[in-house]
Amino acid sequence: MPRYVQDMTSQFLYGSYKSFAFAIRLMRSPPLSRTRLNGFGEVVADDEVVVRYGRNPMGYTSPVQQQIIQSLNLSVSEFSFFGSLVTVGAMLGAVLSGKLGDALGRKGALLVACLPSIVGSALITFAEGKLPLYSGRFLTGLGGGIVSFVVPVYIAEIAPRHLRGTLGAMQQLAVTIGIMLAYLGGLFLNWRYLSAAGTFPIIICLIGLTFIPESPRWLAKNEKSEELEASLKKLRGMEYDVSNEMREMQQTVEAAKSEPQAQFTDLFKRRLARPLFAGIGLQFLQQFSGVNGVMLYSSAIFSSAGISSANVASLALGSLQVVMTVASAGLMDKAGRRLLLMVSASGMALSCFLVGFSFYLRNVQEQYLSSGMNIFIDILALASLLVYIASFSLGLGPIPWILMAEIFPAQVKGVAGSLATLINWSSAWVITLTFNIIFQWSSAGAFWIFAVECVFAVIFVALFVPETRGRTLEQIEASFK
């Protein structure tokens, strides 16, 4: 095995160890109550879905692009279409996610999401032509679109308020580990085996879902009092007095009964305008920071920047995502959402500018600068991309999903969450479709555009995004009335 692959594998295992060690410290920390232990257990089981979602749809294509093209005799445009189908499927999944979550419960919706993911992986694994390949990609996206809304909502609804941010960040941690595994697997596995390997976490998830309780807030909304108490007892501990928490949930449900059944048009009423604008705005800005374009085309970006072993450099990006998401989880309920978002977007703006500057220098260097500048330019590009991914993982990666689950009122959470998730995946589709075109037009200009958008994200957070740290979902909902 090449030495650089051994080094990168060691870095990945070390990052995974640090992630696990963080979880153990969280559970053993002195102020830890039984509430923390139980809530964390449900999230770990739930995140098996998200590992699968991150591992296949978003991280799969980058390391195996050439293998698939050569094996199935695809053109570059056909492969690009294959890559984009995951976002098309996810858009449909986003539309369905709210209705499924409301009708079947959070657990039921997650069970439904597992099915297209398994079928999609099987179709890709055994594909001998374009149709099964495209169909499989679409189905994995469909499952991912459902999961991307239901998981953060479920986590927010089971977590105690003092841990909701930390546990909510576990979703993004699972996504980054999934992408990391795809990059790592791409160094060793054939594309068919890599797709097949993605079914193992989803099978574990199917088993795990049989042991976790339904969301207590969904049970309260559907007037299932006995099951509500049992769910809270399982989450908080059998000796824990859940009566006050039950009463608060039931009072919120009773207050909502006086209002008519939520419709899509209700989202644009004045009372809901603030949380809707903040939630959707963050989903839009997350994608238009350019992160999916950078991750999907990371190998091509590194090659254009003059960096050899581009796939290994992409693996370094994935490793860094895992480590920084762990850091974000530790800070979420201490620093607060707003501060982390503004620091994150500021770091991304600066790093995008520097990446663009490195590409500008490379273009200028070919005509005016000495060849000795090559090393400096390569280091600047790599370091700036690492800062970009680190900054994204600190705030703009996990927090939009956490806030979406926190700020939408219970009676419109399904409709509003579906819309926000649809905006996220639609924006991702636009970015993945246009990034390579813009990058070919001007590599420096592409990153300078993203830098401007990240500056706008800082302003948006400062003006429109509320702080939710340390407040119950019912208190957050009341603050918008």
Provide the angle, in degrees to the nearest 10, between the axes of the packed helices 310-335 and 61-72. 140
For residue 315, pLDDT over 60 is answered with yes
Name the pLDDT band for 261 (thresholds 50, 70, 90).
Answer: low
Residue spans of the domains in the chain: they are 27-212+259-479
Name every residue whose Cβ is closer than 8 Å to that of residue 407 and which is 6 or more positions away in sequence.
275, 278, 279, 466, 468, 476, 480
The most confident of 85-89, 252-256, 430-434, by mean pLDDT: 85-89
Q: Could you tell me the CA-to-CA distances from 458 to 278, 285, 344, 461, 465 in Å, in that order? A: 13, 10, 9, 5, 10
Tens-place pLDDT, residues 444-466: 899 999 999 999 999 999 999 99
Instruction: Report pLDDT for 422.
Output: 92
Compute the half-sphere exposure of residue 278: CA atoms within 13 Å on the CB side of its CA. Answer: 26
- Mean pLDDT score across all residues of the chain: 80
What sections of 126-241 are H helices per DSSP? 130-158, 164-188, 191-197, 199-208, 216-221, 225-236
What the block records as the tokens of 224 is 């299932």
What the block records as the tokens of 27 is 């559970």
CATH code: domain 27-212+259-479 is: 1.20.1250.20
For residue 36, pLDDT over 50 is answered with no
Mean per-residue pLDDT, 46-71:
61
DSSP tag of 409:
-
Tens-place pLDDT, residues 74-100: 887 788 788 788 889 999 999 999 889
The type of residue at 117 is S
Phi then psi for 209, rounded to 5 degrees? Answer: -65, -20
Burial of 30 (0-12, 13-18, 19+ CB in 10 A): exposed
What the block records as the tokens of 415 is 């409709």
Task: Please answer whether residues 260 and 269 qualify as being in contact, where contact means their C-beta atoms are separated by less than 8 angstroms.
Answer: no
Q: Could you tell me the CA-to-CA distances from 102 to 3, 218, 324 in Å, in that order? A: 51, 8, 33
Name every residue whose Cβ is closer than 8 Å to that of residue 301 and which is 6 or more positions away in sequence.
294, 310, 385, 439
For residue 281, pLDDT over 60 is answered with yes
- pTM higher than 0.85, yes or no? no
Q: Give the number of other CB atoms < 10 A from CB of residue 140.
A: 32
Q: Could you tell me the CA-to-CA distances from 358 to 124, 311, 352, 361, 407 in Å, in that order? A: 38, 20, 10, 5, 40
